[in-house]
Structures are given as structure tokens and as C-alpha cells.
Amino acid sequence: MASEAPPFWWTAPDWRAYALLPLSAVYGAVAARRMVSAARQKVDLPVLCVGNLTVGGTGKTPVAIALARQALAMKLVPGFLSRGHGGGFSHPHIVDPRGDSARHVGDEPLLLAEHAPVAVTANRAAGAKILTERGCDFLIMDDGFQSARIHIDFALLVVDAMRGIGNGHVIPGGPLRAPVVGQLRFADAIVKMGDGDAADGVIRMAARANRPVFEARARPRNPETVAGRRVLAFSGIGNPQKFYRSLQESGAELVATRSFPDHHQFMADELGELAIQADKAGLDLVTTAKDAVRLRHAKGVPEGFAERLRVLEIDAVFETDPVPERIIADTLAAWRKRQLDL
């Protein structure tokens, strides 16, 4: 699949962004109207949505996982609601992290399923129902903020500190999923992910709207896997540069890189070329956890490729420890209030 985020989205607005402005205006108006007027179906469990203002990698999935861990620590039973990317199920499906392939359920749901049950479906209410039947008592919705299909008790938007909102234009002229002001109206808090000042403008807007702003950063979970090694890194994620920086911060010598479109389904010849390139230069092959789950059940993976592959796993760590607990508690408080209002 082609990347959803062309490079010009992440630079200052140029002729392409301005040429697409009429289409962006229409797209933005429709998206904003949907968020305002959509019938948000109420489900019986508390719903915490982890979303973003833009398309592309912001670190949303590690944040969702960190919050699921916090929910578990608070004696809750979390479950994930996910649309999945490229999923092939017409009915709600509980992800089997060992038996399902990324081609059928998406790569992010497979990562999430290592931490809590995941229901993959476009019908979020139906997904909530089957998670309730599985014994879950707290729902974390991975993305889906703009779709407004179900009532959200707490909406947390993740913004990448290095890329911010890109050129500030709405799809197709830029990465925004809807106008910023309209999105902030429905947000309960913002988390700035990583270092950098590209998100400062939207952070100031959030502060003026009286929305709490938290900070988190990506931290490699297993840096010893790559520390001191000369590597060829490859990835098919929304923001590959973030992954490459994490490798360097982990002590790897980044000799070569190869970036593919987000959610890329690797072909046997591509993997073979990577293996040959690594062998010729005496490099270790390394990729992301998200790419690794896509390779787990992929067809045509060269013999021995999976065994030699190193995977750098990334956690989202909040700058202030009580923040995840506060987010869970605020979600529960909003849900309890909603129950009283019924």
C-alpha cells in the first residue's frame, strides 16, 4: 500500500498544499461536521480513546500500551478497540496474537494483543460488546477519535514533538484529519511525544482551550539488542526517522537504512535484497516490533531471515509517573458521571 503521508505534508506549505486547498477545505468541513453531529453510541464500559490530530506515526500505539499496563496495575481488565489496517473480517474479531496474520487483522492490533484482548472491527459498539463478554471492564480505543462512532469518556491526543501537525493543512493537502480547533473541542488532554518544538503551536492552542498537556518520550525497551552493533535498519512505519533515532540512542551504529510505506507488506525479493546487502557489508538486520509482527506470518520469508533479525521494541514513558494513573482515573470519573446521567 502507498504511504498515507507524502513528504511535502511535513514541510512548510508549498504550491502543492495550496493547490489542494479547495479539496482540503471540503474534506475538513465534512470531517468537522461529522465530529459535531455524529450519533455517538454509548456503551456500558468506560472508554479511553488514544488518537492523534494527523495521519502518520506519532507514537500512539506505545501510549495505548502504557495506559493498558496502568489499567492492569489498577486492577482493571482492559481491552482494546481497533479498526485494524487492511483487516479482512466483516464481523468483530478477537485477535489471536499467535495465529492471526497482520494481513488479516493489521499490525497494530497484533502488537496490542500482546498486552490485552483486542477486538478488530469498524463497528466499535459491537467490538465493545464482545470485549465485555470476554470480561473486560475498561476499553482503550486505539484511534477512532475522528470517526465519532461511540461515546468517548476521555480523549487523549498524541502529538509528535518533531513533526507537530506538519504544514498545518487538512487532507489531502496536509496531514491533519480535521481542522485543529474542531478536534481540540472534543479532546480532553494532549500528550507531546518526544523532544522538539514542532508541536509548540498546537500545544499553545490546547493550553488556551484549557486542555492539560502531558509529556512522554519513546524509550527502547531492549537497547542491549543493538548496542555496539553495526546495523542495516529497515522499517515500514509512519515515521521511520523516529525509529532510526531510537537505534542510535540505543548505541547502534546506523550504517544503512531502508524505509518502506506505512503498513508495508514485505515481498520475498525485498527481504532477500536486504539480507544480501547486510551480508555484503557485515551488518546486522534490525527492524521495529510493528514490522516484525507483519513478518511473523508473511509468505515467502527467506529461510533463516526471522532467526537473524533483531527487533528494537519501544515503550512510551511519561515524564511524570502519576500521569497514566490520572488519565485512567479521569476516564473512570467521566464514565461514572455518565452512568448517573442516564
Q: What is the mean pLDDT of residues 310-333?
A: 92
Q: Who contacts 326 (Cβ-Cβ below 8 Å, separation ≥6)?
A: none
Residues 211-240 have pLDDT tens digits of 999 999 989 999 999 999 999 999 998 889
| Residue 2 belongs to some domain of the structure | no
Could you tell me if 118 and 233 lie in one domain? no
Residue 33 inside a domain? The answer is: yes
Q: Which residues contact 105 (CB under 8 A, 6 or more apart)?
A: 84, 87, 88, 89, 93, 95, 118, 120
**How much is the pLDDT for 204?**
94
Please say if the pLDDT value at position 84 is more than 80. no
Give the pLDDT mean for 84-110: 81
Residue 329 shares a structural domain with residue 269: no
Poorest-pLDDT segment among 78-87, 196-205, 266-275: 78-87
Average of pLDDT values for 64-84?
95
Statement to judge: residues 59 and 203 lie in one domain:
yes
Residues 145 and 82 grouped into a single domain: yes
Q: How far lies 22's CA from each of 16, 70, 71, 127, in Å? A: 12, 43, 43, 36
Please give the residue that has the higher pLDDT: either 144 or 77. Answer: 77
Q: What is the number of structural domains in the chain?
A: 2
| Shared-domain flag, residues 199 and 231 | no
Q: The domain that contains 130 carries what CATH number? A: 3.40.50
* 1 in a structural domain: no
State yes or no: pLDDT of 322 exceeds 60: yes
| Confidence grade of residue 2 (pLDDT, cut at 50, 70, 90) | very low
Q: What is the 3-state secondary structure (H, E, C) of 131-165?
A: HHHCCCCEEEEECCCCCCCECCCEEEEEEECCCCC
Contact indicator for 253, 277 with CB cutoff of 8 Å: no
Looking at residue 147, its pLDDT comes to 82
Return d(Cα 36, Cα 183) in angstroms, integer.
Answer: 10
Q: Residue 104: which pLDDT band, with cuts at 50, 70 and 90?
A: confident
26: in domain: yes
81 and 48 within one domain: yes
Average pLDDT over residues 21-39: 93
What is the distance between the alpha carbons of residues 31 and 8, in angstroms, rounded to a whole number?
22
Q: What is the mean pLDDT of residues 98-125?
A: 90
Same domain membership, residue 228 and residue 213: no
* Domain membership flag for residue 277: yes
Does 60 reside within a domain? yes
- Same-domain status, 158 and 268: no
The overall average pLDDT reported for the chain is: 91
pLDDT score at 342: 63
Question: In this structure, are 93 and 190 located in the same domain?
Answer: yes
Q: Is residue 262 part of a domain?
A: yes
* Domain ranges, residue 141: 7-218+318-341
- pLDDT at residue number 5: 76
Grid cell 492523534 in the structure block, residue: 52
Residues 13 and 134 in one domain: yes
Residue 282 in this model has a pLDDT that exceeds 70: yes
- Residues 192, 239 share a domain: no
pLDDT at res. 1: 38
Q: Look at residue 75 and give its three-state secondary structure.
A: coil
Does residue 328 fall inside a structural domain?
A: yes
- Average pLDDT of 318-337? 92
Same domain? For 145 and 228 the reply is: no
The pTM of this model reads 0.91
| Calpha distance 189→183 (Å, rounded) | 11
pLDDT category at 70 given cuts 50, 70, 90 is very high
The pLDDT value given to residue 4: 59
Check pLDDT > 90 for residue 263.
no
| Per-residue model confidence as pLDDT tens digits over 176-205 | 999 999 999 999 999 999 989 999 999 999
